[in-house]
Amino acid sequence: MGGILVIAEHLRGTLGAQTGEAIGLARDLKARIGGPLVVTVIAGDPARYHADLALEGVDEVLGVAAAEHFDPAVYEEAAFALALELKPRLVLLGHSVNGMGFGPALAVRLGGSLVSDAFGIEADGGRLLALRGGYGNKVLTKLDISAACVTTVMLRGGSAKPPSAGTAPLRLVSLDLQSAAARTAEHKDYVDPPPADVDITKAEFILSVGRGIQDEKNIERFRALAERLGATFGCSRPIADSGWLPKAHQVGLSGKVASNCKLYLALGISGAVQHLHGMKHVETIVAVNTDRNAPIYNVATYGAAIDLFALADALEKEFN
């Protein structure tokens, strides 16, 4: 057993950013654990992704022909078959909606361990340590994954940098995936979100609002406040679901992850698990909520149980 297998993620002909990041992490790690670095792409035409996956440090790109759209059962079956053949030490994939669709099931079938929402892996002497947050992301947790079994690691977005271009060859692999594909519903089409005027994933400073703003008419006030402060305007899921802001502004599991954010100002957000997924890793989180027991305070760096409209008044006066 040795080496690393990376499962690529793509949507409508474009590779996901976390795939390159996973390859970057694997490249830096493979010299310490030994074995090859192999990247697998499951797609209608795997060859179209070859050049973008043959990055520095990759030894081989494996192409598996299947439907172009993501199917969790197909990805699970293909990754399982390849892992049995290659016997990797680590299987890396993105901690994304798609990754969560098949990653845990893959780990169970492989009989190994699973680390979700990881942001790094260290080789400490003879040990392998997966890095992730603990206690509401207030502490750094190091999980020992040194046991002689395959470990599936789901990598948080923004955790590594993609390598430069390389020259890894492409090998097409034929797998029988018909029975797996038959287990899921038929894919009909993609539904495009409305055009986005923000990119939450690239913002370094985000001001997000939740149900605490009480009324849709207050959206423009807080949007203007975000502009005054030089922040990107974000929101929690209830705001997007109500149609008060486009989905592109939503931070969370079914929205966007604040991958590059350094300062997150949460106004009137309770802190549901879905929302915390998109921002709990941010270095500095300032939460404002009159409910002192709100879950957002479990991850906040600083908190203020004050009226958010009073705070908005003060900030508007200060930054007028």
78 and 37 share a domain?
Answer: yes
CATH of the domain at 271: 3.40.50.1220
30 and 156 share a domain?
Answer: yes
Whether the model pTM is above 0.75: no
Q: Give the total number of structural domains in the chain.
A: 2
Query: Which of 181, 208, 243 is the C-terminal boundary of a domain?
Result: 181
pLDDT of residue 261: 92
256 and 150 share a domain?
Answer: no
SS3 27: helix
259 and 177 share a domain?
Answer: no
Give the chain's residues under pLDDT 70. Answer: 1, 135-138, 193-195
298 and 231 share a domain?
Answer: yes
| DSSP secondary structure letter of residue 159 | S
192 is a domain residue: no
17 and 152 share a domain?
Answer: yes
Decide: residue 221, CB within 10 A, 0-12 exposed, 13-18 middle, 19+ buried: middle
pLDDT of residue 1: 65
pLDDT tens-digit map of 48-64: 999 999 999 999 999 99
pLDDT of residue 138: 60
Going by C-alpha positions, the residue among 57, 51, 54, 53 that lies closest to residue 9 is 53
Domain range enclosing 54? 4-181
Written as six digits, the tokens of 295 are 């879950």
C-alpha to C-alpha distance for 5 and 14, rounded to whole angstroms: 20
E runs forming strands in the chain: 4-7, 10-11, 14-15, 37-43, 60-65, 90-94, 113-118, 120-124, 127-134, 139-144, 151-155, 170-173, 205-209, 232-235, 263-267, 284-288, 302-304
27 and 157 share a domain?
Answer: yes
30 and 176 share a domain?
Answer: yes
pLDDT of residue 148: 79
CATH of the domain at 39: 3.40.50.620
Beta bridge partners of 65: 43
